[in-house]
Structure 1
Amino acid sequence: MRRHHHLEITRFVNSSSRIESLDVARAVALFGVVAMNFHAYLNGAQSMYPTHPSAWERLFNPLTGPLTTRFAATFVLIAGIGVSLFTQRARVSNSRTDIQHARIVLLRRGALLYFVGYFVQWVWPGTILFYYGAYFIIAAAVFTWSTKRLIALGGVSIFFAAGLSWWRASQLLDGNNTRWLSPSPNSPRNLLIRTFVDYTHPVFPWIAFFVAGIMLGRHIHHLSKIRLRLMFASILLILATHAANFLFTSSSQISDRDFVLAKLVSTQPLDRGILFSLGTLATAVVALCLVSFMVERASRSILFRLLTKFLARAGRMTLSVYLLHVVFFNLVVHRLHWVGATGLDTALALSLLFYVVALMLSSWWNTYFGLGPAERVYRAFGG
């Protein structure tokens, strides 16, 4: 009986039952993450504050560019979908045993990602890994919630993050220091602060993207039927957020009120305003829908079908490839000094080189060995 239960609960993570469009979306998002990371770490301040930025430098600006955080948000959305698929049987059956088992697996996987991510961030500041761990730990508590409760959780996280940004801006105008909310993660207290409210991918508001994935995952097998409506609504939301930002943000910001309002209606990641959260979530949904559409059409062309297979195999090994890109960059740039900070073109060339090699390695490994090395450890510990 226990063996049957184990087979049932894991059928959603077997390669034969994987949804190919999700794997391809992971692989595509991975290239964006690699490119943005390599540009930021290679070119440093020049990547974020260029003196005379070109259109490409504005596009790939790690702080203010339209691409920044969008790839990571797509990853988080897909992770939520994965959790929804994994826990689907437990949630639908409402079996206490199945739900408890799913919770334990999510807690163990989240704890492992949090632990590993904590150490990775000392050599790769800004890593999403330990934030990922926190999302999974929270998911263990909320995956059985109704859609209304999940929407409420996402809404609270978005408004809390925006409210905190508004409060910090107000405190700054009053001459009060709030840097204690942006500490180095050198103690349990400071690590929790960073996890929930600070740095690159804090729980508030990023858990909203994760729970959106959980909700979308409950309908993922019908995505082709709702895809156009989702894309239309998401594109409207993206346009609305940027229009609101344009209308309500004063270009001069000559008053204190202008400064505080700019934080609330900002579309920049570090401001964590309401418009940023809504626009980023909508962008991730559009990206997923587009990839899903292209994967469906890939069967019409041998070349595109082959490319889809390569991307899907890499998408099954994103944890391994993510860790590899950290090792690769530090080896090539910091140890061997083969590459220097010479601009966006160098960062993109390095990203493309790594990605092509990673695609080939992933395809070979997945074909002959199945799970990637990091994924094997992840499953062995997490269940």
Structure 2
Amino acid sequence: MTGETHRILGYDFARGLAIIGMIFVNFKTVMVVETDAYLYQLVELVSGKAAALFVVLVGVGMTLMYQSAKAKNDVGEIRKVKTILLKRAAFLLVLGLSYYSIWPGDILHYYGLYLPIGILFLSVSRNWLQTLSFLLIIAYSAFLLFFNYEAGWDWTTLEYTDFYTVNGFFRNFFLNGFHPVFPWIAFLLTGIWIGRINFNNAKVRKRVSLFSLTLFLVFKSISLFLIDNLSQLSPTKASDLTYLLGTTPMPPMFFYMITASSLAVFIISISIYISTKLSHTLFIKQMVSTGQLSLSNYFFHVIIGMLAIKLFFRKLEFAFSIEFTIVYAIVFSVVIIFFSHIWCMKFKKGPLEYIMRKITG
């Protein structure tokens, strides 16, 4: 296989990992009441990280499409790619909102703005992409010091009470939803930056892997150190310090954004390496297929995964133990992986991927 093919397989492998991670996190979020149980905390470590990886990979995909058109040195082709991306943004917006009442943590409808904003940065230099991402993260973290992040939220049910009002919809969409445009657009910019890296060069790939892993470990350590030491100095402020300095996705503060971005870059670089070395193995092929059907699999984990539980048990939200939920997530993930592999042996596109291509080009 060519280096380019291995690189694409690596991106699909990473998408497969992101989908499986989101299945575990989302099932946990919906089905389990927050607890100190070890398994719950283990899944919590992935919370926000898998979704961030998913968005970074969307940025990578945008860059690959743009570079392919740019290589033809045809303004018409570049315009065509941007038009397709805008159509896909509209498609994903409608698709995500269509089942919002079932899964308010949907990420697809946010792409309705991620993609149009990303189009504006496809030709921006890599240095500027890094700078803008960092400034955006800093600005949002500072903004939350003055903004009521809990506005609209009922944390006992994870419902956004005024989502279907104009103010509530835009507040959720842009500022304090599950994956708000600001600052989550920084993940997309990171993906646009990553898509330009020559991962076929082993030295470049190694350098990116080491740098991103180091960045993750350093900022994760700083976060833990600050929370632990400052909490000891002011025990009554411990929860506020965790809120401001932690690495959980809600709110998406500075340390979360930096650690999630760097971890996503590390996973992508390692996925490309693994796919290069082990592309012939069944597991890699299965995970690549899972990534190739990422849109369909994300949709299925809501429409089939969550609805099946609700129809069978007549309950869903905060009604199950973490042990049951983990087992169910494992079983559902295995089914998704096998389904994806068998489907890709017969068809080039997943069910929803095919529909989206037919509608948007």
Give TM-score, length-normalised by structure 1: 0.82
1:55 is the counterpart of 2:46 = no
Deviation at 1:33, TM superposition (A): 0.6
1:19 is the counterpart of 2:8 = yes
Identify the residue that residue 112 of structure 2 maps to in structure 1. Answer: 133
- Where in structure 2 are the equivalents of 1:363-374 lying within 5 Å? 363-374=341-352
Q: Indicate the percent of aligned positions where both proteins have the same amino acid.
A: 26
Q: 1 CA distance for matches of 2:171 and 2:110?
A: 11
- Where in structure 2 are the equivalents of 1:143-154 lying within 5 Å? 143-154=122-133
- Where in structure 2 are the equivalents of 1:241-320 lying within 5 Å? 241-249=219-227, 250-252=230-232, 254=234, 263-299=243-279, 305-320=281-296
1:38 is the counterpart of 2:27 = yes
Identify the residue that residue 82 of structure 1 maps to in structure 2. Answer: 61
| 1:206-241 Cα shifts (integer Å, max 9, x gaps) | 111111111110124436332221122122212221
Deviation at 1:188, TM superposition (A): 4.1
Identify the residue that residue 346 of structure 1 maps to in structure 2. Answer: 324
DSSP-derived class of the 1:167 partner: coil
Q: 2 CA distance for matches of 1:349 and 1:258?
A: 33
Contact 1:244-1:265 within 8 A present in 2 as well: no
Q: 2 CA distance for matches of 1:255 and 1:351?
A: 37
DSSP-derived class of the 2:179 partner: coil
Q: 1 CA distance for matches of 2:335 and 2:143?
A: 42
DSSP-derived class of the 1:71 partner: helix
- Where in structure 2 are the equivalents of 1:87-166 lying within 5 Å? 87-91=66-70, 95-166=74-145
Task: Tell me: CA distance 1:84–1:185, structure 2 relative to 1, closer, same or farther (3 Å).
Answer: same
Q: 1 CA distance for matches of 2:219 and 2:297?
A: 33
DSSP-derived class of the 2:101 partner: helix
1:227 is the counterpart of 2:205 = yes
Deviation at 1:252, TM superposition (A): 4.8
Q: 1 CA distance for matches of 2:97 and 2:184?
A: 18
Q: Between 181-190 and 98-107, report the one with greater CA deviation.
A: 181-190
Task: Tell me: CA distance 1:180–1:156, structure 2 relative to 1, closer, same or farther (3 Å).
Answer: farther
Task: Tell me: CA distance 1:228–1:313, structure 2 relative to 1, closer, same or farther (3 Å).
Answer: same
Structure 1: where are the runs of 5+ without partners? 1-14, 173-177
Contact 2:18-2:50 within 8 A present in 1 as well: yes
Identify the residue that residue 376 of structure 1 maps to in structure 2. Answer: 354
Q: 2 CA distance for matches of 1:111 and 1:348?
A: 34
Contact 1:91-1:144 within 8 A present in 2 as well: no
Higher relative contact order (CA 8 A, sep 6+): 2
Matched letter for residue 59 of structure 1: L
Contact 1:317-1:371 within 8 A present in 2 as well: yes
1:330 is the counterpart of 2:306 = yes
Contact 1:104-1:140 within 8 A present in 2 as well: no
Matched letter for residue 84 of structure 2: V
Q: 2 CA distance for matches of 1:247 and 1:313?
A: 40
| 1:239-269 Cα shifts (integer Å, max 9, x gaps) | 2212322343321574998876654433221
| 1:90-115 Cα shifts (integer Å, max 9, x gaps) | 34566432222121111111111112
Identify the residue that residue 321 of structure 1 maps to in structure 2. Answer: 297
Contact 2:95-2:109 within 8 A present in 1 as well: yes
Identify the residue that residue 4 of structure 1 maps to in structure 2. Answer: none
Contact 1:166-1:260 within 8 A present in 2 as well: no
Superposition CA RMSD, Å: 2.7
Deviation at 1:141, TM superposition (A): 2.1
Among residues 41, 44, 48, which one is paired with 1:69 in the alignment?
48
Give TM-score, length-normalised by structure 2: 0.87
Contact 1:234-1:285 within 8 A present in 2 as well: yes
Matched letter for residue 268 of structure 2: L
Among residues 185, 199, 219, which one is paired with 1:207 in the alignment?
185
Bigger share in helix: 1
DSSP-derived class of the 2:144 partner: helix
Matched letter for residue 37 of structure 2: S
DSSP-derived class of the 2:147 partner: helix
Task: Tell me: CA distance 1:278–1:192, structure 2 relative to 1, closer, same or farther (3 Å).
Answer: same
Contact 1:245-1:275 within 8 A present in 2 as well: yes
Task: Tell me: CA distance 1:258–1:123, structure 2 relative to 1, closer, same or farther (3 Å).
Answer: closer
Q: 2 CA distance for matches of 1:94 and 1:265?
A: 46
Q: 1 CA distance for matches of 2:105 and 2:16?
A: 20
Task: Tell me: CA distance 1:236–1:266, structure 2 relative to 1, closer, same or farther (3 Å).
Answer: same
Q: 1 CA distance for matches of 2:233 and 2:167?
A: 35
Give the length in aligned residue pairs.
Answer: 348
Task: Tell me: CA distance 1:94–1:263, structure 2 relative to 1, closer, same or farther (3 Å).
Answer: farther
Q: Between 179-188 and 264-273, report the one with greater CA deviation.
A: 179-188
